[in-house]
Amino acid sequence: MGYYSEPLKQEKVIRDPVHSHIYIQDQIIMDLINTTEFQRLRRIHQLGTTSQTFPGAEHTRFTHSLGVYEIVRRICNQFQRNYPSQTPGDGNWDDSERLVAQCAGLLHDIGHGAYSHTFEHIFKTNHEKITQAIITNPETEVNQVLRKVSPDFPNQVASVINKTYPNQQVVQMISSQCDADRMDYLLRDSYFTGAQYGKFDLDRILQVMRPYQDGICFKISGLHSIEYYIVCRFQMYLQVYFHPISRSMEVILGHLLLRAKELADSPKRSADFHPDILMPFLNGTFDYEHDLKDYLKLDDGVLNTYFSTWRDDSDSILADLSQRFIDRKPFKSAIFTDENKPLLPKLQNIIEETGFDPEYYSESDNSYNQPYDVYNPQSQHSNAQIELIQKDGSFVELSQASLLVRTITGKDIGDSRFFFPKEMLQPEKNVELFKPLYDNFQSYIQNDKIKQPEEN
């Protein structure tokens, strides 16, 4: 394995606020950036509804993808300088792998769509499958560019992204617990939200990274830098990614798409409710191979344009949820635990009594993530654990070397929240009539947590 591409005579640069500049050194990379499928990422925000909480977070998957490419490029440079392979299989870095690694870094998110998380949840699509399709389908511009390297090159790039590529050094650059993807998004999300928490020390981590027989490891002298990176990731989950306001907007979005799906299925709306670009998804006929073009037409602007229009729809639930989403009227929420989860149906009853359909106006959402995980043969989503190499060549697994990491290893971090209309806490109308209902509802909540009301 090993790919050749003509380098650009003059390296080109793209200005980027996170990495200062992105350096483009191959015509292939330039051509991939110029494809319609890649340019489309300019119209898909990286963080979906998060900009509703952190308004600076308007950045897109386009700049993130460039950033991942740039980190991969820097890793390759460092590996080639300090650990160049002398003989095949010596565990060092073979620089002919650089091109496939850089392409995979650039394209790893090419299948993402508008509000991916919620969209996929409602419509059962899968952006990873679409990534594979875009890379391997001969009709895409991306595929046509990749084929210039060799007929099998698209498959190689795709296999890096789905982790079946034989060289684990390349795979782990893109997908592991300390990979170019995660490192770029932490720094980038931190920069654009203005949250301070994600600013780990990229330069230092790149210095202590090294290739070895089974993939990528880190020099033990970098222990604390990696520990800090894990903590930064942990903080970003707690403070940014799991922020209740953003999740509340996602809840509204999900209910909104669900309602649209129901209307599209409803015979009486078949004549007048016909959002063209969304139809394959609303009626469940989407096919990864034949409808790829349709999928590629979807972006944040297209969805928002529909929602914006639907604010005037005749269906009052669709119209109300669209307005809440577009004009940012988030639901409120309260934390619940397994213990008091049985109280939720009671709360839903009260919500219903005040006139809201609880199917659309309430939701329980669990947001949890493991900041770091060690190898577990039973786990479906096992990630390579982080290995530290000592002076004598022996390895220590990260959580063995770091007290802080050990604490959060394998732990689910996050919370479970019950979402409901803000009106339940701050009623604007019907106040006198429904006051006993509102009071009853509020008696279940203390310090933003669900609790058993006290007896009178």
Residues 393-412 within binding reach of a copy of itself (CB under 8 A): 394, 403-404, 407-408, 411
By rule CB under 8 A, what count of residues binds a copy of itself? 76
Give the shortest CB-175-to-a copy of itself separation in angstroms: 24
Residue in 96, 266, 305, 443 binding a copy of itself, rule: CB under 8 A: 305
**Measured between alpha carbons, how far is 365 from 250 in angstroms, rounded to an integer?**
10
Residues between 68 and 107 that touch a copy of itself (CB under 8 A): 82
**Measured between alpha carbons, how far is 394 from 29 in angstroms, rounded to an integer?**
38
Give the shortest CB-60-to-a copy of itself separation in angstroms: 6
| 34/96 with CB nearer a copy of itself | 34
**Measured between alpha carbons, how far is 383 from 427 in angstroms, rounded to an integer?**
47
Give the number of other CB atoms < 10 A from CB of residue 163.
14
**Measured between alpha carbons, how far is 301 from 299 in angstroms, rounded to an integer?**
5
Torsion from C-alpha of 132, 51, 442, 343, nearest 10 degrees? 10
Give the shortest CB-412-to-a copy of itself separation in angstroms: 11
The stretch among 101-109, 121-129, 254-262, 321-329 that binds a copy of itself (CB under 8 A) is: 321-329
274 is a contact residue toward a copy of itself (CB under 8 A): no
The two three-digit tokens of residue 350, written as one number: 């009260």
Element (H, E) at 24: strand 20-26
228 is a contact residue toward a copy of itself (CB under 8 A): yes
14 is a contact residue toward a copy of itself (CB under 8 A): yes
- What SS3 state is found at 437? helix
The two three-digit tokens of residue 253, written as one number: 């979005």
SS (H, E, C) 230-274: HHHHHHHHHHHHCCHHHHHHHHHHHHHHHHHHHHHHCHHHCCCCC
Cα angle: 81, vertex 84, 88; to 5 degrees: 165
Give the shortest CB-166-to-a copy of itself separation in angstroms: 29
Give the shortest CB-288-to-a copy of itself separation in angstroms: 21
Give the shortest CB-227-to-a copy of itself separation in angstroms: 8
The stretch among 176-184, 194-202, 375-383, 423-431 that binds a copy of itself (CB under 8 A) is: 194-202
**Measured between alpha carbons, how far is 401 from 399 in angstroms, rounded to an integer?**
5
256 vs 318, 387, 388, CA distance in Å? 6, 44, 47
Dihedral sign, Cα of residue 442, residue 448, residue 453, residue 454: negative
77 vs 142, 205, 312, CA distance in Å? 25, 14, 55
The stretch among 169-177, 341-349, 379-387, 444-452 that binds a copy of itself (CB under 8 A) is: 444-452
17 is a contact residue toward a copy of itself (CB under 8 A): yes
Give the shortest CB-356-to-a copy of itself separation in angstroms: 20
Give the shortest CB-213-to-a copy of itself separation in angstroms: 20
Give the shortest CB-300-to-a copy of itself separation in angstroms: 6
**Measured between alpha carbons, how far is 443 from 454 in angstroms, rounded to an integer?**
8
The stretch among 202-210, 264-272, 377-385, 419-427 that binds a copy of itself (CB under 8 A) is: 202-210
| 10/378 with CB nearer a copy of itself | 10
Give the shortest CB-161-to-a copy of itself separation in angstroms: 22
Amino acid present at 378: Q
Residue in 143, 159, 177, 193 binding a copy of itself, rule: CB under 8 A: 193
Instruction: With beta carbons less than 8 A apart as the criterion, state whether 40 and 132 touch.
Output: no
| 99/195 with CB nearer a copy of itself | 195
- The residues, any chain, with a CB within 8 Å of residue 372's CB and separated by 6 or more, are 177, 230, 386, 398, 399, 405, 408, 409, 410
| 57/171 with CB nearer a copy of itself | 57
DSSP state of 84: B
Residues between 45 and 74 that touch a copy of itself (CB under 8 A): 51, 53-56, 58-60, 62-63, 66
| 343/396 with CB nearer a copy of itself | 396
Residues between 21 and 50 that touch a copy of itself (CB under 8 A): 21, 34, 36, 39, 42-43
